[in-house]
Amino acid sequence: MNVAPKKRLGQHFLVDENVLRVIARLAGLEPDDVVLEIGPGLGVLTRYLAERVAHVHAVEIDRRLEPGLRDIPRIDLHWGDALALDLADLDPPASKLVSNLPYNVATPIVVESLDRLPSVEAWCVMVQREVADRFFALPRTKAYGAVSVLVQIAAVRTGFHAVSRHVFRPRPNVDSALVAFRRVAPGIDPEVKRVVEAAFAHRRKTLANSLALTGRAPAPDAAAALAAIGRDSAARAEELAPEEFVALAAALP
Protein backbone atom coordinates (compact mmCIF):
# COMPACT_ATOMS: atom_id res chain seq x y z
CA MET A 1 0.00 0.00 0.00
CA ASN A 2 1.53 3.31 -1.09
CA VAL A 3 0.46 6.04 1.35
CA ALA A 4 2.67 9.08 1.95
CA PRO A 5 3.17 9.66 5.70
CA LYS A 6 1.89 12.97 7.03
CA LYS A 7 4.41 14.93 9.07
CA ARG A 8 1.69 16.83 10.94
CA LEU A 9 0.37 13.50 12.26
CA GLY A 10 3.82 12.41 13.43
CA GLN A 11 3.68 9.40 11.10
CA HIS A 12 6.73 7.18 10.70
CA PHE A 13 5.47 3.83 9.43
CA LEU A 14 7.06 0.66 10.76
CA VAL A 15 8.25 -1.35 7.74
CA ASP A 16 10.87 -3.77 9.13
CA GLU A 17 9.26 -6.94 10.46
CA ASN A 18 12.41 -8.04 12.33
CA VAL A 19 11.62 -5.67 15.18
CA LEU A 20 8.26 -7.38 15.74
CA ARG A 21 9.86 -10.26 17.64
CA VAL A 22 11.42 -7.78 20.04
CA ILE A 23 8.05 -6.14 20.57
CA ALA A 24 6.44 -9.53 21.27
CA ARG A 25 9.12 -10.36 23.84
CA LEU A 26 8.97 -7.03 25.65
CA ALA A 27 5.17 -6.97 25.58
CA GLY A 28 4.95 -10.55 26.86
CA LEU A 29 2.17 -11.30 24.39
CA GLU A 30 -0.24 -14.04 25.45
CA PRO A 31 -3.07 -15.71 23.46
CA ASP A 32 -5.76 -14.22 25.72
CA ASP A 33 -4.47 -10.63 25.57
CA VAL A 34 -6.66 -7.81 24.31
CA VAL A 35 -4.30 -5.25 22.81
CA LEU A 36 -4.83 -1.56 22.15
CA GLU A 37 -2.73 -0.27 19.27
CA ILE A 38 -2.65 3.46 18.58
CA GLY A 39 -1.48 4.53 15.15
CA PRO A 40 -1.42 1.19 13.25
CA GLY A 41 -0.21 2.88 10.08
CA LEU A 42 0.35 0.33 7.33
CA GLY A 43 -0.71 -2.52 9.62
CA VAL A 44 2.66 -4.32 9.94
CA LEU A 45 2.42 -4.55 13.73
CA THR A 46 -1.37 -4.91 13.64
CA ARG A 47 -1.22 -8.11 11.60
CA TYR A 48 1.50 -9.53 13.81
CA LEU A 49 -0.55 -8.83 16.94
CA ALA A 50 -3.80 -10.18 15.45
CA GLU A 51 -2.11 -13.53 14.78
CA ARG A 52 -0.98 -13.89 18.40
CA VAL A 53 -3.59 -12.37 20.72
CA ALA A 54 -7.33 -12.70 21.29
CA HIS A 55 -8.30 -9.26 20.00
CA VAL A 56 -6.80 -5.97 18.78
CA HIS A 57 -8.35 -2.52 19.06
CA ALA A 58 -6.59 -0.35 16.46
CA VAL A 59 -7.07 3.41 16.73
CA GLU A 60 -6.21 5.42 13.63
CA ILE A 61 -6.87 9.04 12.70
CA ASP A 62 -5.88 8.77 9.01
CA ARG A 63 -8.71 7.32 6.90
CA ARG A 64 -6.37 6.91 3.90
CA LEU A 65 -5.01 3.82 5.66
CA GLU A 66 -8.35 1.98 5.84
CA PRO A 67 -7.85 -0.28 2.78
CA GLY A 68 -4.75 -1.84 4.32
CA LEU A 69 -6.34 -2.39 7.74
CA ARG A 70 -9.99 -3.34 7.28
CA ASP A 71 -9.43 -6.99 6.29
CA ILE A 72 -7.17 -7.95 9.21
CA PRO A 73 -8.96 -10.60 11.33
CA ARG A 74 -9.76 -10.20 15.04
CA ILE A 75 -9.44 -6.43 15.09
CA ASP A 76 -11.80 -3.54 15.67
CA LEU A 77 -10.91 -0.31 13.89
CA HIS A 78 -11.66 2.91 15.77
CA TRP A 79 -11.34 6.08 13.70
CA GLY A 80 -10.38 9.36 15.34
CA ASP A 81 -7.95 11.09 17.66
CA ALA A 82 -6.87 8.70 20.41
CA LEU A 83 -6.73 11.58 22.88
CA ALA A 84 -10.35 12.50 22.14
CA LEU A 85 -11.93 9.03 22.00
CA ASP A 86 -13.27 7.33 25.13
CA LEU A 87 -11.03 4.28 25.02
CA ALA A 88 -12.09 3.16 28.49
CA ASP A 89 -15.34 1.89 26.93
CA LEU A 90 -13.69 -0.55 24.52
CA ASP A 91 -15.33 -3.97 24.41
CA PRO A 92 -13.59 -6.19 25.24
CA PRO A 93 -11.46 -3.92 27.45
CA ALA A 94 -7.79 -3.65 26.51
CA SER A 95 -5.29 -5.37 28.82
CA LYS A 96 -2.13 -4.17 27.04
CA LEU A 97 -1.13 -1.14 24.98
CA VAL A 98 1.33 -2.10 22.24
CA SER A 99 2.07 0.59 19.67
CA ASN A 100 4.49 2.41 17.45
CA LEU A 101 3.19 5.70 18.78
CA PRO A 102 2.93 8.80 16.57
CA TYR A 103 5.80 11.04 17.67
CA ASN A 104 3.69 14.14 18.23
CA VAL A 105 1.31 12.54 20.74
CA ALA A 106 3.42 9.81 22.36
CA THR A 107 3.87 11.48 25.74
CA PRO A 108 0.23 12.53 26.34
CA ILE A 109 -1.02 9.12 25.18
CA VAL A 110 1.18 7.32 27.71
CA VAL A 111 0.24 9.63 30.59
CA GLU A 112 -3.46 9.59 29.74
CA SER A 113 -3.54 5.82 29.34
CA LEU A 114 -1.96 5.35 32.76
CA ASP A 115 -4.60 7.61 34.21
CA ARG A 116 -7.75 6.80 32.23
CA LEU A 117 -7.45 3.20 31.08
CA PRO A 118 -7.56 1.16 34.29
CA SER A 119 -7.93 -2.14 32.43
CA VAL A 120 -4.51 -1.70 30.78
CA GLU A 121 -1.88 -3.44 32.91
CA ALA A 122 1.14 -3.43 30.59
CA TRP A 123 2.66 -1.26 27.86
CA CYS A 124 5.21 -1.75 25.10
CA VAL A 125 5.58 1.43 23.05
CA MET A 126 7.92 2.67 20.37
CA VAL A 127 8.81 6.32 20.96
CA GLN A 128 11.63 8.75 20.34
CA ARG A 129 14.72 7.71 22.30
CA GLU A 130 14.74 10.92 24.32
CA VAL A 131 11.09 10.36 25.28
CA ALA A 132 11.81 6.77 26.33
CA ASP A 133 14.71 8.01 28.46
CA ARG A 134 12.49 10.66 30.02
CA PHE A 135 9.79 8.21 31.16
CA PHE A 136 12.07 6.50 33.68
CA ALA A 137 14.75 9.12 34.25
CA LEU A 138 16.23 9.42 37.73
CA PRO A 139 15.99 12.54 39.92
CA ARG A 140 18.75 15.12 39.45
CA THR A 141 19.28 14.15 35.81
CA LYS A 142 18.65 16.36 32.79
CA ALA A 143 15.91 14.08 31.46
CA TYR A 144 13.98 14.00 34.74
CA GLY A 145 10.80 16.08 34.68
CA ALA A 146 7.06 16.09 35.22
CA VAL A 147 6.48 13.22 32.79
CA SER A 148 9.09 11.10 34.59
CA VAL A 149 7.31 11.62 37.91
CA LEU A 150 3.81 10.95 36.58
CA VAL A 151 4.82 7.77 34.75
CA GLN A 152 6.84 6.43 37.69
CA ILE A 153 4.02 7.04 40.16
CA ALA A 154 1.87 4.55 38.25
CA ALA A 155 4.33 2.18 36.54
CA VAL A 156 7.69 0.41 36.66
CA ARG A 157 9.88 -0.28 33.65
CA THR A 158 10.20 -3.92 32.59
CA GLY A 159 12.16 -3.64 29.36
CA PHE A 160 14.05 -1.36 26.99
CA HIS A 161 15.45 -1.80 23.48
CA ALA A 162 17.09 0.81 21.25
CA VAL A 163 15.71 0.79 17.70
CA SER A 164 17.44 1.82 14.49
CA ARG A 165 15.85 4.61 12.51
CA HIS A 166 16.12 2.34 9.45
CA VAL A 167 13.00 0.36 10.48
CA PHE A 168 10.72 3.30 9.61
CA ARG A 169 9.46 4.97 6.48
CA PRO A 170 10.23 7.81 6.20
CA ARG A 171 13.43 7.48 8.20
CA PRO A 172 13.16 9.88 11.17
CA ASN A 173 15.93 12.30 12.12
CA VAL A 174 15.97 11.03 15.70
CA ASP A 175 16.68 7.71 17.35
CA SER A 176 13.85 5.59 18.71
CA ALA A 177 13.41 3.00 21.43
CA LEU A 178 10.97 0.42 22.66
CA VAL A 179 10.11 0.83 26.31
CA ALA A 180 7.99 -1.65 28.26
CA PHE A 181 6.41 -1.06 31.65
CA ARG A 182 3.66 -2.42 33.88
CA ARG A 183 1.12 -0.79 36.13
CA VAL A 184 1.77 -0.62 39.89
CA ALA A 185 -0.92 1.91 40.81
CA PRO A 186 -4.51 2.42 39.62
CA GLY A 187 -3.81 5.87 38.22
CA ILE A 188 -2.52 9.35 38.95
CA ASP A 189 -4.34 11.38 41.58
CA PRO A 190 -5.54 14.67 40.00
CA GLU A 191 -4.13 16.78 42.83
CA VAL A 192 -0.75 15.05 42.62
CA LYS A 193 -0.74 15.70 38.87
CA ARG A 194 -1.46 19.39 39.43
CA VAL A 195 1.34 19.67 41.98
CA VAL A 196 3.85 17.89 39.74
CA GLU A 197 3.04 20.03 36.71
CA ALA A 198 3.22 23.22 38.79
CA ALA A 199 6.49 22.17 40.42
CA PHE A 200 8.24 21.74 37.05
CA ALA A 201 6.61 24.75 35.36
CA HIS A 202 9.55 26.99 36.29
CA ARG A 203 12.59 24.72 36.42
CA ARG A 204 15.02 27.54 37.19
CA LYS A 205 13.08 28.47 40.31
CA THR A 206 12.91 26.64 43.59
CA LEU A 207 10.00 24.24 43.87
CA ALA A 208 8.26 26.49 46.40
CA ASN A 209 8.54 29.50 44.12
CA SER A 210 7.36 27.51 41.11
CA LEU A 211 4.24 26.43 43.02
CA ALA A 212 3.65 30.06 44.00
CA LEU A 213 4.15 31.38 40.45
CA THR A 214 1.64 28.90 39.06
CA GLY A 215 -0.89 29.78 41.76
CA ARG A 216 -0.93 26.32 43.30
CA ALA A 217 0.24 27.46 46.77
CA PRO A 218 1.81 30.56 48.36
CA ALA A 219 5.55 30.16 48.81
CA PRO A 220 5.33 29.97 52.66
CA ASP A 221 2.75 27.16 52.46
CA ALA A 222 4.88 25.32 49.92
CA ALA A 223 7.97 25.72 52.11
CA ALA A 224 6.05 24.37 55.11
CA ALA A 225 4.86 21.38 53.09
CA LEU A 226 8.43 20.68 51.96
CA ALA A 227 9.59 20.80 55.58
CA ALA A 228 6.83 18.35 56.51
CA ILE A 229 8.25 15.77 54.09
CA GLY A 230 11.84 16.41 55.21
CA ARG A 231 12.92 18.69 52.39
CA ASP A 232 14.59 22.09 52.51
CA SER A 233 12.55 25.09 51.35
CA ALA A 234 15.20 25.77 48.68
CA ALA A 235 14.74 22.34 47.07
CA ARG A 236 14.13 22.19 43.34
CA ALA A 237 11.59 19.96 41.65
CA GLU A 238 14.20 17.74 40.00
CA GLU A 239 15.56 16.74 43.43
CA LEU A 240 12.37 15.02 44.62
CA ALA A 241 11.62 11.36 43.90
CA PRO A 242 8.15 10.49 42.54
CA GLU A 243 6.88 9.22 45.90
CA GLU A 244 7.91 12.51 47.52
CA PHE A 245 5.55 14.39 45.20
CA VAL A 246 2.70 12.21 46.42
CA ALA A 247 3.64 13.11 50.00
CA LEU A 248 4.03 16.80 49.08
CA ALA A 249 0.57 16.97 47.54
CA ALA A 250 -0.86 15.50 50.74
CA ALA A 251 1.03 18.03 52.87
CA LEU A 252 -0.10 21.12 50.96
CA PRO A 253 -3.15 22.96 52.31
Superfamily of chain region 7-183 = Vaccinia Virus protein VP39 (3.40.50.150)
Mean pLDDT of 66-70: 91
| Tens-place pLDDT, residues 234-246 | 999 999 999 999 9
| Separation between Cα atoms, residue 171 and residue 117, nearest integer Å | 31
Q: Which CATH class is domain 190-251?
A: mainly alpha
Tens digits of residue pLDDT in 222-232? 999 999 999 99
The structure's pTM equals: 0.91
Measure the CA–CA gap between 132 and 181, rounded to whole angstroms.
11
Kindly calculate the radius of gyration of the chain based on its CA atoms and give it in whole angstroms: 20
Q: What tens digit of pLDDT does each residue of 8-31 get?
A: 555 567 767 788 999 999 999 999
* Domain 190-251 in the same topology as domain 7-183: no
Kindly report the average pLDDT of the chain as a whole number.
93
What is the 3-class SS of 131-145, one letter each residue? HHHHHCCCCCCCCCC
Residue 16: count other Cβ atoms within 10 Å of its Cβ. 13
Delimit the domains of the chain by residue range: 7-183, 190-251
Separation between Cα atoms, residue 248 and residue 252, nearest integer Å: 6
